[in-house]
Chains A and B, each alone.
Chain A
Amino acid sequence: MTTVGGRDEVQRSDASQLRVVGRPLPRTDAAEKIAGSTRYAADLALPAMLHTRLVRSTLPSARLVRRDTARARSLAGVVAVLLGEDVPHNEVWVDVPGQQTEVRALKARSQVLATGRVRYHGQPIALVVAESEDVLAEAEALVDVEYEELPGVFDPEEALGEEAPRVHEDGNLLAEWHIDSGDAATALERAPIVIEGQYRTQFVDHAYLEPEAGVAWLDDDGVITIRASTQVVEHFRDIAAILGVPQARIRVIAPYVGGGFGGKEDMTVEPYLALAVLRTGRPVRMVWTRQESLLARPKRHPMRLRYRTGAENDGTLVAQDIEILADTGAEAYLGALVLLYSSVTAAGPYRCPNVRVRARAVYTNHPPCSAMRGFGAMQVVFGCEAQIDELARRLQLTPDEIRRRNAIREGDRLPVGQQIVTPIWLGETIDQVLRAAGPRPEPSRPHCRVGRGIASNLQPYGRLVWLQDTAAAWIGFQFDGSVTLRCGVPDIGGGQAASLGQIAAEVLGVDPARVTVHFGDSARTPLAGTSTATRQLYMSGNAAHLAATRLRDQTLDAVAEAAGRARGALRLGPGGVEGGGEPIALPRALELVRGLGVPLEVLATFHGPRGRAVARDLAAERVFPDFTVGTHLADVEVDCDTGQIRVVRYLACHDVGRAINPQSVSGQICGGAAMGIGSALTEEIVLESGINLTAGFFQYRIPTALDLPDIEAIALESGAGMGPFGARGIGEPPIGPPAATIANAVRDAIGVRLTELPMTPERVLAAIRAQAHTDPPRPAPTGP
């Protein structure tokens, strides 16, 4: 049987009947993580293990004149130094969907190790393999690389110019998406109110606790086994292609990951580890330094956004005209898809009959940009929600009222054409944050002003429908009634594995402590797809639910037959098989099942909704399975003398459908908000002519616990999502609103709109001064 994801097919339970789901159970991985005993990817020492390090480009755009490894190879302790020529297939091809060059679909090429030229600062050129970690730095310095500097391009607008240096042979435009819903131009001409604005977002790093790392070895079965910090065990296929070996000869294991956020969605250490094993036959380890991670790992796309928003006098939106220019850096990676997410969500969670979107992603000689939590749907919130806020001010409506009037509802269509098929609780999220916020704070000092802002967003959960997404899970009873669950989900810290255990325990009536979850192994757990796109609770959660439900049903069918009880009376519960007489303890019941030759296990596959691929001109009945909405609220205090913003209070509310584990849900919301606040206020990868100046935590400033306000997470449970028990995805959605929420609060406090991220004190002060030169002092503003 196949189950296709959709409202009707997914089983939901009445929340009041739930025994395990919905309880804030301590996560199975929590205690050992707190104790520091979790064995992360590279926390495994194998006998005779070698150590590896990449030699990276010191220039952003150059021809490689000479690469000489002789001196490095002669250093004591160095086992091998590999160049691109040593890689069996030194090319990775990426599909760029929706884009065509003449007759073939566009594919983008990147190299595992650069040979002819380098395109960004930090691009890998050589791989050093050595007996000890100590030798690596010296060996790296002994690899002679001679460069001939080539002109580079470091601005996406300039990159589109005719004369601009080409980052890749086919030109600098990686991808372009158009949406034309209704007639935005005419509607804007006729609209009585038009708001215009331009906004800029910055390069942001994932800055996970665990850098890119892993260990690999040739296992007894002849399989190159890679234990890596990754969100995607299915990269085993790409690794096999690079090595030129059968896919079945590569196995990827993802142990608990110390943070992914999209940064471990593309391959990181895997191909290099595999190459070193292939070359030496020995176990190898690779751990990137924080400097490497900040230097060269794909970043969040900086975007330039231009918005024009038209409305009626009562605040009803009539048109949005949106232009997006994204700097995708030097490699394609997932840039086209990131931009697709931006395009589909750029108009926000609102009904608007006329929307025009023109989005472009452009190559530059900057570090590549790719997936990062929010995946393009984050940056546009900063533009869209600024427009909505300004519109409210123009019309003297409160920020909540303007959003309520335009909130998208079940049955409405997004500009791309997709109909919303689940109830959308946007208004409820606004109510919740306002109610919880209470009165506005008072300034703590005379030179300070306080303000309050809100911002809302919608974020897809589940992958693009044309990717025909599936997830599989295997569940089996052991003879003693304990439960084994196998699912290839990588657990990247969101409680992915623990939540599956909770779902299985709910359905099978057992104590959650009796469920053991095996996860994240491309060879030994059924494949469940990537831990990306806010899809795992939806996809593998449904797969686990499906498998558990079938196991329950086949078990009860067999017990009914063997024990001569009415099937309809039977259920699984704490007493084992209950109903229709004395409870039958589970081990005894399972004996009865086995006596009939009925298996104690089920393998089930859950299929997401299917759809057709899109073209450059986006128009589709369905692009994503579904969406999660939310609203955040911030009270800020702005020091008008220094421009310093202090977030005094922060609330974040999302409709999560059903909180399988409220602790994990709250963790996702608080974490997303914290990360978003970092993007809003302090974080920025700074590049000067392509040279990364922020390759260390001295320079790249993530907020610490001391810098953040207490974040109050509010999870609403509409029960209306497409995941198990009506859950929606919540991994990415909370990253969307923070920057806009804070910008709107600052606008409220000092009457100035900040349009560029991060909102540094210096930028705030400059904005205050610019306003002081043009405007007379304003009365104290009012907000929600």
Chain B
Amino acid sequence: MIPASFDYRRAHDLDEATRWLGELGPEAKVLAGGHSLIPLMRLRLAQPSALVDIGRVPGLDTIRVDGDRLRIGALVRHAALARSEVVRRALPLLAEMAAEVGDQQVRARGTLGGVIAHADPAGDYPTLALMLDAEIVTTHGSHPARDFFQHLFTTPLQPDEVIREVTFPVAAGPHRYIKFRRRRCDWAIVGAAVQQSDGGWRLGLTNCGPTPMRARAAEAALAEGRTMAEAALQAAEGLTPPSDLRASSDYRRHLARVLTRRALEQAAA
């Protein structure tokens, strides 16, 4: 289908982008890789009045380690994350996640900043950002991930606010991300991510609620010295995942437990 008509502007830098976004108002959207926004526009589920394209803004596609933080520019594409030696050393879980986002075409164009800003609970990076206390650095300041994913597709980003980069803690210990899918290259029906860091386990869940989720009860059980299998039984504690065409809420809770156990066992193996 053909999207509804819209205005298009290509920004040369982020100052220009925020200025334009301010002028154009809340109906304008930022275009980066376009792999969430454009499909929604083609289906006319999204009808922004204008797109401000930041795709050619320089300096937003860098990956670097800064002390104990890994800093990823908002325009870094999934494919670049997946093959980056820096990411593989500093936070291998992120590289593995990036290699499993969508399909080859999506990975070639889609960006980390886009996924974070879209705040789809079925997205993969939000889970990692939440569980590892990432920081979302924007034109207006910085948001800790725990305050960022407020609800389905809802963040504290202002209409004229653009993500510059996302910083993650360096963590190279045992880790694993498992997506349960009905089809290859699909969104996860449920995803479970585990990362050992500072001697403890961080456990995150994809698509188990209106935002990414942490399996805190299971984290606590592991901290108390329970076995992985015992802890994983608590992975769905307090969660009320959605029921939809792909899976019921109960089945998602079941998957959260199974996948958390498998991820822990495979990470530890």
Q: Report how far A68 CA is from B2 CA in the complex, Å.
A: 25
Task: Tell me whether A686 and B245 are in contact in the complex, defined as CB-CB below 8 angstroms, given that A137-B2, A642-B258, A765-B251 are known contacts.
Answer: yes
User: Which residues of A in the span 626-673 have a Cβ within 8 Å of any Cβ on B?
Assistant: 641-642, 644
CB pair A762 B2 closer than 8 Å: no
Q: Shortest beta-carbon distance, A517 to chain B, in Å?
A: 35
* Best-buried of A642, A644, A760, A765 by chain B (most CB within 10 Å): A642
Confirm or deny: A703 has a beta carbon within 8 angstroms of a beta carbon on chain B: yes
Q: Are B4 and A706 in contact (CB under 8 A)?
A: no
Q: In the complex, A642→B4 CA distance in Å?
A: 41
A682 to B5, CA, bound (A): 35
**Complex contact B2–A133 (CB within 8 A):** yes
User: Which B residues are CB-close (under 8 A) to A682?
Assistant: 182-183
Collect the chain B residues with CB atoms within 8 Å of residue A694's CB: 245
In the complex, chain B residues whose CB is within 8 Å of the CB of A644: 180
Q: Which of A671-698 contact B (CB under 8 A)?
A: 681-682, 686, 693-694, 696
Report B1-24 residues with CB < 8 Å from chain A CB.
Answer: 1-2, 4-5
* Structural contact, A134 and B254, CB atoms closer than 8 A: no
A291 to B1, CA, bound (A): 9
B185 within 8 A of A: yes
Known contacts: A137-B4, A137-B44. The answer to whether A704 contacts B180 by CB under 8 A is no
Q: Mark A238-271, 1 if CB is under 8 A from B, else 0.
A: 0000000000000000000000000000000000
- Complex Cα distance A693/B244, Å? 10
Within residues 172 to 226 of chain B, which ones have a CB less than 8 A from any CB in chain A?
Answer: 180, 182-186
**Are A765 and B184 in contact, with the CB atoms below 8 A?**
no
User: Of A137, A696, A701, A762, which is within 8 A of B247 by CB?
Assistant: A762
B154 within 8 A of A: no
Docked Cα-Cα span, A137 to B1, in Å, equals: 9
> How far apart sit A388 and B251, CA to CA, in the bound complex (Å)?
32
| A762/B1 in contact, CB under 8 A | no
Alpha-carbon distance between A707 and B1 when the two chains are bound, in angstroms: 27
- Does A699 touch B at the CB level, under 8 Å? yes
Contact status B182-A761, CB under 8 Å: yes
CA distance A682 to B255 in the complex (A): 18
Interface centre among B2, B44, B248 (most CB of A within 10 A): B2
> Could you tell me if A642 and B180 are in contact, using CB atoms closer than 8 angstroms?
yes
Q: How far is the CB of A550 from chain B (nearest CB, A)?
A: 51
Contact with B along A606-630 (1 / 0, CB 8 A): 0000000000000000000000000
| A208 to B185 Cα, complex, angstroms | 20
Shortest distance between the CB of A12 and any CB in chain B (Å): 45
Q: 0/1 per residue, A705-744, Cβ < 8 Å to B?
A: 0110000000000000000000000000000000000000
Asked if B86 lies at the interface with its beta carbon under 8 angstroms from chain A, I say no
> Considering only CB atoms and an 8 Å cut-off, how many residues of chain B contact the other chain?
19
Q: Are B248 and A701 in contact (CB under 8 A)?
A: no
Inter-chain contact B43/A706, CB cutoff 8 Å:
no
CB contacts (< 8 Å) of B1 on chain A: these are 137, 289, 291
Q: Give, as a whole number of angstroms, the nearest-CB distance from A308 to chain B.
A: 32
What is the CA–CA distance of A760 and B255 in the complex, to the nearest angstrom? 14
What is the minimal beta-carbon distance from A296 to any residue of chain B, in angstroms?
Answer: 16
The minimal Cβ–Cβ distance linking B178 to chain A, given in whole angstroms, is 10
Q: A686: which B residues are within 8 A, CB to CB?
A: 245
Q: How far is the CA of A133 from the CA of B245 in the complex (A)?
A: 32
Contacts of B248 in A (CB 8 A): 762
Closest to A642 in B: B258
A138 to B1, CA, bound (A): 12
Q: How far is the CB of A294 from chain B (nearest CB, A)?
A: 12
* Pair A762/B251 contact, Cβ less than 8 Å: yes
Q: How far is the CA of A707 from the CA of B182 in the complex (A)?
A: 9
Q: Report how far A642 CA is from B190 CA in the complex, Å.
A: 11
- A contact residues around B4 at 8 Å (CB): 137-138
In angstroms, Cα B184 to Cα A686, docked, is 21
Tell me the complex Cα distance, A137–B43, Å: 11
The residues of A that contact B185 with a CB separation of less than 8 Å are 704, 706
Known: A137-B44, A642-B258, A762-B251. A699 touches B245 (CB 8 A): yes
Whether B182 and A704, one on each chain, are in contact in the complex, defined by CB atoms closer than 8 angstroms, is no
Report chain A residues within 8 Å CB of B186.
701
Q: How far is the CA of A638 from the CA of B51 in the complex (A)?
A: 46
Alpha-carbon gap, A289 to B3, bound state (A): 13
From 196 to 222 in chain A, residues with beta carbon under 8 angstroms from any chain B beta carbon are none
* Closest chain B CB from A237 CB (angstroms): 33
Residues of B close to A701: CB separation below 8 A:
182-183, 186
Nearest CB of B to A682, in Å: 6
Determine if A134 and B5 form an interchain contact, defined as CB atoms under 8 angstroms apart. Answer: yes
Instruction: Decide if A134 touches B2 in the complex (CB within 8 Å).
Output: yes
Whole-angstrom distance between the alpha carbons of A706 and B184 in the complex?
6
Report the minimum CB–CB distance from A73 to chain B (whole Å).
Answer: 20
Are B43 and A765 neighbours in the complex by a CB distance under 8 Å? Answer: no
CB B41 to nearest CB in A, in angstroms, measures 12
Q: Is A704 within 8 A of B183, CB to CB? A: yes
Question: Would you list 14 pairs from A and B whose C-beta atoms are within 8 A, ordered by A residue?
Answer: A137-B2, A138-B4, A289-B1, A641-B258, A642-B180, A644-B180, A682-B183, A699-B245, A701-B186, A704-B184, A760-B182, A762-B247, A762-B248, A765-B254
Binding site for A on B (CB under 8 A): 1-2, 4-5, 43-44, 180, 182-186, 245, 247-248, 251, 254-255, 258
Known: A291-B43, A704-B184. 16 other contacts (CB 8 A): A134-B5, A137-B1, A138-B4, A642-B258, A644-B180, A682-B182, A682-B183, A694-B245, A696-B43, A703-B183, A706-B185, A760-B182, A761-B251, A762-B248, A765-B251, A765-B254
Q: Which 6 A-B pairs have the closest CB atoms?
A: A706-B184, A762-B251, A641-B258, A707-B183, A289-B1, A707-B184
